A and B are shown apart, each in its own frame.
Chain A
Amino acid sequence: MKKSTKLLSLLLVVFISCFCYFQPAFADKKNDTLNIAFSKELETLDRYFNTAREGIVVARHVFDNLLYRDPVTYEYKGLLAKSFKWNSNTEMEIILREGVRFHNGQEMTADDVVYTLNFAANPDNKVKTQRYSSWIDHVEKTGPYGVKIILKKPFPAAFEFLSGANPIYPKDYYKKVGTKGFGMKPIGTGPYRITDVIPGKKIVMEINKEYFKDSPKGQPSIGKIVWRTLPEINTQMAELMTGGLDWIYLVPPDQAAKLAKTPGITVTPAETMRIGYLTFDAANRSGKEHGMENPFVKLKVRQAVNHAINKTSIARNLIGGQSRAVYSACFPSQFGCEQDVKKYEYDPQKAKQLLAEAGYPDGFETTLYGYRNRPFAEAMIGDLAAVGIKAKLMMMKYSALREKARAGKAQMQFLTWGSYSINDVSAITSHFFEFEADDLARDEIVRDLLIEADTSIDQAKRKELYSKALKRIAEQAYWCPMFTYVSNNCYSDSLDFTPYPDAVPRFFQARWK
């Protein structure tokens, strides 16, 4: 063997062994410190002024809401509230727990609840998450531990929002430090308290030893959590493999499969509320593209696309885990998400037939716009090409795509929606079909059904109305709902951790094994 060949072989062996052999990871269990990473840096720790998912996760650990939604049974339980009830369609009465203390030792009372919710609901305060509180008209104090929430109009998803989106702040401290100060040094009643914040680098939390004992969240167990910002997923994986991190998530499926083979690491794929879907310009705002009229105004074309895409194959082969095909314009567990809708199974022949009946026997050219998951979009392009629809893929930044779509300049888009982890159809279907800017269908029947459902507190009636709306959406094929997303949670074997479909990791329930 020549010298150069020997050298090359040696190099290859070194490279292969680098990729294939990893030593087991060792978690920071002995220091009782959970090291985790997120890709994004939070703009502020004030939940009412941040919009990222990471903001929700931090908030669940530092703050408490009035209510708590059990992630398994979806039952609403009192968290800061001892009891809660509807007095009427637009008035809710809440009695608070006594003896719950903020991290600075001050007791939480009705004044804090009144101040926080009124602050959030007041548009003058310019909170970024206005939709979370815009349904509240005002909040009144009824006693030291009693409040009334007065709604602008009936809003059946109120419990859902109170349990997930409206943390309670300490009035005096917030007034003193303002949103800027609070964003750096927040104080809540939650199971963990923030002890250090280095913007762009890390957030350090320590266990709240005074956390109230009968919280439905349970009692925290791990002493310290260090949340690092690591933008690159490969770096996160390397840190996990070497024990620099104990937990990461949203790992792409192929990389999660590699991690699963690494000793000392557990990979748990968990289905999330995010679904992928195609939406069409059925209302014909885009007009001509590629020199021809918008084909998606025709029902048969929309139905053809629904039949053309092999959603089950994408879910199984490209996403993996518990990902499944969806047929209704919502996430299956959401309240009101009717499953008995018209199902368009994968049938390329039927798709071709429908295209021919619509006047496109040779198919047509179009553009598929997307903003994430290019491989999924490429698979769809292949399926569409097989029935004659030659779609050019145009991947854009989310903001640019949204701007284009709202201006009525996109005929077919591949989008995703996570419903802000809210388990109610109003967080998805209503958002897209009530003639708001993102409504590309503009169907008055659907709109009226949804508005009525959104403002009724009769749950049976709501269910019926949502069912009618979703059946019509499917019949008219305004969307092509495709698949659910899976979040790959990858963590050290020494961590006892359970992921849930709302994709909000609950480290206050995690334990060392």
Chain B
Amino acid sequence: MLIYTLKRLGLALVVMVTVSLISFMLLRVSGDPAISLAGEGASSEEIEFVRVQYGFDRPLLVQYFEWAERALHGDLGNSPYLNQPVAQMLKERMGVTIILGISALSFAMLLSIPLGMLAAIRPNTWIDRIALSISVMGQAMPSFWFGLILIIFFGVHLRWLPISGSDSWRHFVMPTIALGYYATPAIMRLVRSGMIEVLASDHIRTARAKGLRWPKILFKHTLRNAIIPVVAVAAVQLGFMLGGSIVIESIFALNGLGNLAWVSISRSDLPVVQAIVLFLSTTYIILTFLADLLNAFLDPRIRSI
């Protein structure tokens, strides 16, 4: 297990370095950041001034290694646009994104696990079809579109919920549903197929033959077995939600990392974008790493891979 863990850790580090290098290079070839920072209509002199002042005139690899060295010491640099430390900006906005990510994942689990169970208990019936339809809709609908529908219905028409901002828990209801709904199908299908498989197994048949009560069979013997892979998938889904909240945060004007990423991309605030990419990819890599370890712990055959 130790060798497996070290191997996975090494791989995770290589992925992190690769992601940071590629994103650094890609961000800098997507347009001259000095032009964006100097503003529309800036003269050549003004642009050149910005380029030199922020060090964009130096070779890309030099810029990368300087950035990487500082990042290793916890210094993510300053935002040229807002003239604030990037680490502080991330710290200020992280809370909103984490709340949104966790609440969206909780919503997805609360919706998908009962639906998956219902579908598994009554496979190929109208209950199963409704559950699958809900799941297909979740996958087919772009989250930004679903978010706008929620705004129109609950915000504009019924006026039950606030449309934008992050001042109270009510502000998080619609973004949570919009973001969480997208993750529902994957979890629901996993629960459904896992439950169907476990329900057909010998030990469940034995449990029923012994006369155990149905709820006990369902929750203690079936769900417990079927939910193990779901936990691993949910960890990865959380990473996806943290990264995928860009559009949702913009629509609902939540002042989190996703919104910051969006506006920073549009104004070529590269150190901020770079730091967010690093943060999100690191989170994703850590969650995947933990999921790998969990899988290896549960299934010893994986450790030999």
Contact = CB atoms under 8 A, between A and B. Distances in A.
A398 B253 contact: no
A238 B156 contact: yes
A199 B79 CA distance: 13
A400 interface: yes
B206 interface: no
A235 B151 contact: yes
A234 B259 contact: no
Interface string B53-96: 10000000000000000000000000001111000000001000
A52 B39 contact: yes
B43 A231 contact: no
A126 interface: yes
Interface in B227-264: 250-253, 255, 259-260, 262-263
B38 interface: yes
Nearest to B53: A126
Interface stretch (B8-16, B26-34, B216-224, B282-290): B26-34
A135 interface: no
A199 B83 CA distance: 12
> Which applies to chain B's interface (DSSP): helix, strand, loop or mixed?
helix
In this complex, the member of A49, A129, A239 whose beta carbon has the largest number of chain B beta carbons within 10 angstroms is A239
A213 B32 CA distance: 47
Interface stretch (A18-26, A146-154, A495-503): A18-26
B35 A232 contact: no
Contacts of B45: 130
Name the interface size band of chain A: 35 or more
Name the interface size band of chain B: 35 or more
Contacts of B157: 17-18, 21-23
Nearest to A52: B39
A436 B32 contact: no
Interface in B163-213: 163-165
A230 interface: yes
A22 B156 contact: yes
Contacts of B252: 235
Contacts, number: 123
B268 interface: yes
A232 B250 contact: yes
Contact of B163 (A51, A130, A244): A244
Nearest to A229: B253
B46 A130 contact: yes
Given A131-B46, A200-B260, A399 B31 contact: yes
Contact of A126 (B30, B36, B41, B49): B49
B297 interface: no
A350 interface: no
Contacts of B40: 51, 398, 418
B246 to A, nearest CB: 11
A19 B93 CA distance: 33
Contacts of B253: 228-232, 235
Given A398-B40, A431-B41, A200 B155 contact: no
Nearest to A397: B31
Contacts of A241: 156
A396 B36 CA distance: 13
Nearest to A416: B40
Interface string A123-163: 00010111100000000000000000000000000000000
A437 B31 CA distance: 17
A43 B43 contact: no
27 contacts: A43-B82, A43-B83, A49-B83, A129-B39, A130-B43, A130-B49, A131-B41, A180-B83, A183-B83, A199-B84, A200-B255, A228-B165, A231-B250, A231-B253, A231-B259, A235-B151, A235-B164, A235-B253, A238-B152, A238-B156, A241-B156, A396-B31, A397-B31, A399-B268, A403-B31, A417-B41, A437-B43
Given A232-B251, A437-B43, 20 more contacts: A40-B263, A44-B83, A51-B42, A128-B39, A128-B46, A128-B50, A130-B45, A130-B49, A131-B43, A201-B255, A228-B253, A229-B253, A238-B164, A244-B163, A399-B33, A399-B35, A401-B31, A403-B31, A431-B41, A437-B44
CB-CB nearest 8 A-B residue pairs: A51-B39, A400-B31, A399-B31, A399-B35, A399-B36, A403-B32, A437-B44, A397-B31
